[in-house]
Structure 1
Amino acid sequence: MSEKKERRILVAVDEGEESMHALSWCLSNLVHPNSDDTLILLYSKPPRPVYTAIDGPGGYLFSADVTAAIERYGDQVAHNVMEKAKKVCADLQPQVKVETKVENGDPRDVICEAAEKLAADVLVMGSHGYGVIKRAFLGSVSNHCAQKAKCPVLIVKKPKS
């Protein structure tokens, strides 16, 4: 008889409906009830923008108050996304083990690095479904991760309504 192996399923979540749809799909189709699977919810806080002056020698400097407010806002967004994701988990699979991770940086790099560092068995992501033009300008996080992640990547597209 084969031994049951715990799977580590990494799900990238963000503010978009697409990532919550991918999480719901994962809970309904990939995570088995009463399994030893661990679901790791990952949110990537985008790096703070750097502003420079085009005409002048310096750049725009923010006061400590403004910098702190920007940081608090980013923390609150991360908290809200994680709370929403944990609620989805509790509603669909209350018995599943859930871990949360919030990392700073470009989501493409953060997600791929986390998948490797956390020894994920599979990475689940949503897709915004951008067309060719938008994808060329904005880039595709899911496409990047599908190419660079060192584990299988499952991209879940939200059906058009």
Structure 2
Amino acid sequence: MVAIDESEHSAYALKWTLDHFFTPTPNPIFKLVLIHAKPSAISTLGLAGPAEVIEGDARNVLCDAVDKHHASILVVGSHAYGTIKRAVLGSVSDYCAHHAHCTVMIVKKPKTKH
């Protein structure tokens, strides 16, 4: 299961997942489920595999989706918020790491070198 939103961190986490868990074989080992938590649901995404846009707080939506789909791993991108922003907004990845009933992989987008 991959948590997605409109951020480049989310896109990187999805690409990382596809690169590391999926190969061009006729019988894939894994089933991919994409979950997008929104304050108000507007549509279902048409990406590779089952996808859901679910209304609600991302922390709760993701942990509930893990249980619903019996996910063995949840991949989330890291927004790399600083201490203050993380304290105010909360960290979805940190919450999921502590509350999801599966392995949680937090994928960080590498910083570009100048």
Task: Please give the TM-score of this superposition, normalised by the length of structure 1.
Answer: 0.64
Residue 83 of structure 2 corresponds to residue 132 of structure 1? yes
Instruction: Report the RMSD for the aligned CA atoms in angstroms.
Output: 1.6
User: For structure 1, which runs of at least 5 residues remain unmatched after alignment?
Assistant: 1-9, 48-73, 90-97
Is the radius of gyration larger for structure 1 or structure 2?
1
- Please say if residues 2 and 74 of structure 2, whose CA atoms lie closer than 8 Å, have aligned partners that are also in contact: yes
Q: Give me the whole-angstrom Cα distance separating, in 2, the residues matched to 1:37 and 1:21.
A: 19
Could you tell me which residue of structure 2 aligns to residue 148 of structure 1? 99
- AA aligned to 2:6 is E
Q: How far is the alpha carbon of 1:46 from its aligned partner?
A: 1.4
Residue 59 of structure 2 corresponds to residue 108 of structure 1? yes
Residue from 14, 17, 20 that aligns with 1:26:
17
Q: How far is the alpha carbon of 1:119 from its aligned partner?
A: 0.2
Could you tell me which residue of structure 1 aligns to residue 29 of structure 2? 36
Give identity over the alignment, percent. Answer: 46
Give the number of the structure whose residues are more often helix, by fraction.
Answer: 1
User: For structure 2, which runs of at least 5 residues remain unmatched after alignment?
Assistant: none
Higher relative contact order structure (alpha carbons within 8 Å, sequence separation ≥ 6): 1
Q: Give me the whole-angstrom Cα distance separating, in 2, the residues matched to 1:41 and 1:152.
A: 16
Task: Please give the TM-score of this superposition, normalised by the length of structure 2.
Answer: 0.88
